[in-house]
Structure 1
Amino acid sequence: MNGLGMKLPRTQRLFFDRASVLKAVSRAERRTLSRFGAFVRRTARSSIRRRKRISAPGAAPSSHTGLLRRTIFFAYEPQRSSVVIGPLQLNKGTDAPALLEQGGRVTRRRRNRSVRLTYRPRPFMGPAFQREQSRLPALWRNSVR
């Protein structure tokens, strides 16, 4: 018995159980960030229009085959407590998604000659992230249970 007339195990239950609180916070963090990743993925996919002609520089890219839209994913990364959202790196040896997002120059071989190509930026991930960022506080609200 302690000085308050209560037994120690009963007194301990009145305080936070650190392990259960950390587990609840971790679960809420994973769920909230995964939902945010899903929202950004959906917005990025819907911004890529399916049509034959190219998009204007500064606008989201057009998809001719649908490959770019199908390869946008998200994953929760527990080591860093973050979510990674974006297109997969394909085994084609090109950085097409990065070139579309940021623009840039690249050298290609065409008919045994080197040709320097310039890509103007057609961002799709950055604007999707910015558009969904305002939702994040509402997702965090009352997330730890």
Structure 2
Amino acid sequence: MAKIASEFNIHASAKDLFFDRARVINAITAENHKRLSKAGAFIRQRARTAILRRRKRVSKPGEPPSVRSRDSFANLRNILFFLSKDWESVVIGPRVVPSARLKRSNRRTVPELLEKGGTSMVTKTRLTGERTSSISGVWLYGDRKGERWKDAEKVHYMARYEPRPFMGPALDAEIKAGTIGNLWVTR
């Protein structure tokens, strides 16, 4: 038999035996951001479809609210999501309109008041006197649009709002449907 002479020279450092840590973390982070973004989009769409425009009646407590506004900006259906790369999280909710601040309320915004319920000061205009054709009369908008009245006084009262959640149920529905949990399952 022929004898084969060979020399093996093995050289390895401990660093070569481990993964490239930075590359692995970057790949996981990028994939996690992609999946969080998809989860935010799924929840946003579910919440938008829960808020009905076609319903003419007032929603019952516990149901998602009805929306009658056709304004594309100041509308409860204008739901956005924000992916926070620093915190590794996604924030989803309706756009806060600056004019939608509440007076003497235990909530900060109208969407929060609808989601959790609470109290707020309501101001209504009560008409006094009689209708007039005078230019100095009070113009009304809404049910009595275009009518002018001699006098009007503002009436303030505290109103209690029952919760009409729409963001929490949207998250629960997506979890139940399995669309969010399945995003992190390896394929």
TM-score, L = length of structure 2 = 0.67
CA contact (8 A) 1:74 1:85 kept: yes
Q: SS at the partner of 1:112?
A: strand
Q: CA deviation at 1:113?
A: 3.5
**1:5 aligned residue (4, 10, 30):** 10
State which drifts further: 117-126 or 88-97.
88-97
3-state SS of the aligned residue for 2:90? strand
3-state SS, counterpart of residue 127 of structure 1: helix
What is the match of residue 30 of structure 1? 33
Displacement of 1:4: 6.7
Specify every segment of 5 or more residues in structure 2 that has no aligned partner in the other structure, as ranges: 1-7, 103-108, 125-152
Q: What corresponds to 2:66 in structure 1?
A: 62
| In 2, Cα distance between equivalents of 1:22 and 1:30 | 12
Does the aligned pair in 2 maintain the 1:33–1:83 contact within 8 Å? Answer: yes
Query: Considering only aligned residues, what root-mean-square deviation do their CA atoms show, in Å?
Result: 2.0
Matches within 5 A, 1:51-90: 51-66=55-70, 67-69=75-77, 71-90=78-97
Alignment of 1:103-122 (within 5 A): 103-110=117-124, 111-122=153-164
**Does residue 140 of structure 1 match 2:144?**
no
SS at match of 1:68: coil
Amino acid at match of 1:49: L
Aligned to 2:50, which of 47, 51, 61?
A: 47
The alignment covers a number of residue pairs equal to 137
Give 1:121 deviation, angstroms.
0.8
2: CA distance, partners of 1:26 / 1:57: 40
- Pair 1:96-2:96 in alignment: no
Change in 2 beyond 3 A, CA 1:18/1:97: same
User: Secondary structure, in 3 states, of the residue corresponding to 1:118?
Assistant: strand
Runs (4+) of structure 1 moved beyond 4 Å?
none
> Is the deviation greater in 101-110 or in 55-64?
101-110
Alignment gaps of 5+ in structure 1: none
- Cα 1:4–1:96 change in 2 (3 A) is farther
Identity of aligned residues (%): 39
Q: TM-score, normalised by structure 1?
A: 0.85
